[in-house]
Amino acid sequence: MPWVTRGLREGIVTTPYPRHPDGYGRSFKGHVVCEEKATGTEVAAAAAACPTGAIEVGAGGARLDRGRCVLCGRCCEVAPGSFHFQPGFETAALARPALVVPGREPDDGEVARAREQLRRRVKALRRSVYLRHVDAGSDGSEEWELAALMGPIYDINRLGIFFTASPRHADVLLVTGVGTSGMLVPLRLTYDAMPSPKVVIAVGTDAVSGGLTGGTYASGKGVAAAVPVDVFVPGSPPSPFGILYGILLAVGLVGQAPRGGEARPAGAEAMEGKGVAP
């Protein structure tokens, strides 16, 4: 009975995303912005303070690799004029270099080609998508966010997206963790067991680059060493919205948000005519 009254009191809690923008999702500290041509002793101190070596300072200024950033905020404290958090969650990218900011903006043709290649591969996946998750040495934080996707707030089942225990039934491989040496073979076996077409998403900074604990005798620098990654979702951990955006990007239901700028609001047009239930 208390559940009934609570349900009546609170109404529908499920996010309208991606059919409509979600203010709660856009309030997350999504990623760190590095100002164009950031230089000076402050910036060098920020690079020295970065625990993952995500900041590189060169003659033309600093560059920040979001694929290595664990969102600790140290650079923002040390050099607030050059680094700051930007809200949003649409941070996933179709190519690893796209996570480096400020960087060379890929030309429209390059982006269109990458998107078209992926679109052709995943054309058959539009109506329902099955996800297989493999933990390849995660600290457990990404798993909490993945579990949230099945709760009432995100409720990915409403979009025709489901988890499956069997790689034989999976379309999308979600990989978390740094890619420990003991998990590389099981990860590859899982990938090989999946039918084509299939898509791989590296979920979290650890899976993208190794994060804080990668690059040791037992841990790799991301999962791309074992499987071909199609979508990179940075964040340590990424928010459930960030992971959901990565999944929708992988199956072609939303476009790539512009790099280094305000994430593109997902609107109804992203879902129009794709056979996805609201």
Interface with ligand SF4 by CB under 6 A: which range of 63-71, 105-113, 118-126, 132-140?
63-71
Q: Is the peptide bond before 18 cis (omega within 30 degrees of 0)?
A: yes
Task: Assess 69 for contact with ligand SF4 (CB under 6 A).
Answer: yes
What residues does 100 pair with on adjacent strands? 65
Min CB(74)–ligand SF4 separation in Å:
4
Contact between 101 and ligand SF4 per CB under 6 A: no
The bridge status of strand 129-135 relative to strand 100-101 is unpaired
Which of 75, 79, 173, 224 binds ligand SF4 (CB under 6 A)? It is 75
Single out the segment in contact with ligand SF4 by CB under 6 A; choices: 43-51, 216-224, 245-253, 259-267.
43-51
Under rule CB under 6 A, how many of the chain's residues touch ligand SF4? 15
Task: Work out whether 250 is an interface residue with ligand SF4 (CB under 6 A).
Answer: no
Strands of 100-101's sheet in order across: 55-58, 61-65, 100-101
Compute the CA torsion angle 177, 224, 229, 55 (nearest 10 deg). 80
Figure out which of the listed residues 38, 43, 50, 122 binds ligand SF4, where binding follows CB under 6 A.
50
Closest CA to 227 of 180, 167, 185: 185
For residue 123, give Cα distances in angstroms to 226, 253, 259, 274: 25, 10, 25, 10
Strand order in the sheet with 172-176: 161-163, 129-135, 172-176, 199-203, 231-233
Nearest to ligand SF4 of 154, 232 (CB atom):
232
Give the position of tokens 């990218």: 93
CB of 245 to ligand SF4, least distance (A): 19
Q: Which range in 70-78, 195-203, 237-245, 246-254 contacts ligand SF4 by CB under 6 A?
A: 70-78
Which of 33, 38, 62, 70 lies at the binding interface for ligand SF4 (CB under 6 A)?
Answer: 70
Residue 180 CB, nearest approach to ligand SF4 (Å): 21
**Binding region for ligand SF4 (CB under 6 A):** 32, 49-52, 54-55, 64, 69-75
